[in-house]
Amino acid sequence: MGIVKVTAFTISLDGFGAGPNQDLNNPLGVRGCELHSWFFPTTIFQNMIGKAGGSTGVDNKFAEKSFENIGANIMGRNMFGPVRGPWPDDSWKGWWGDNPPYHTPVYVLTHHAKEPLKMAGDNTFYFVTDGIESALKQAKAAAKGKDVRINGGVSTVKQYLKAGLIDEMHLVMSPVFLGAGENLFSGIDLAKLGFKCVENVAGANCTHLILKRET
What is the arithmetic mean of pLDDT over 190-214? 96
Q: Tell me whether residue 100 is in a domain.
A: no
* Model confidence band, residue 195 (pLDDT cutoffs 50, 70, 90): very high
The mean pLDDT value of the chain amounts to 96
Q: Tell me whether residue 121 is in a domain.
A: yes
What's the pTM value of the predicted model, to 2 decimals?
Answer: 0.95
Range of the domain at 147: 4-84+106-199
Helix ranges (H only) for the chain are 43-48, 58-65, 77-80, 132-143, 154-162
* Model confidence band, residue 90 (pLDDT cutoffs 50, 70, 90): confident
The reported pLDDT for the residue numbered 127 is: 98
Q: How many domains does the chain have?
A: 1
What is the arithmetic mean of pLDDT over 20-43? 94
Q: Tell me whether residue 57 is in a domain.
A: yes
Using a 10 angstrom Cβ sphere, with 0-12 exposed, 13-18 middle and 19 or more buried, the burial of residue 151 is buried
Q: Tell me whether residue 18 is in a domain.
A: yes
Q: Tell me whether residue 213 is in a domain.
A: no
The three-state secondary structure class of 64 is helix
The reported pLDDT for the residue numbered 156 is: 98
Q: Tell me whether residue 127 is in a domain.
A: yes
CATH number of the domain at 148, please.
Answer: 3.40.430.10
The reported pLDDT for the residue numbered 1 is: 84
Q: Tell me whether residue 152 is in a domain.
A: yes
What is the arithmetic mean of pLDDT over 57-84? 96
Q: Tell me whether residue 165 is in a domain.
A: yes
The reported pLDDT for the residue numbered 215 is: 74
Share of the chain above pLDDT 70, in %: 100
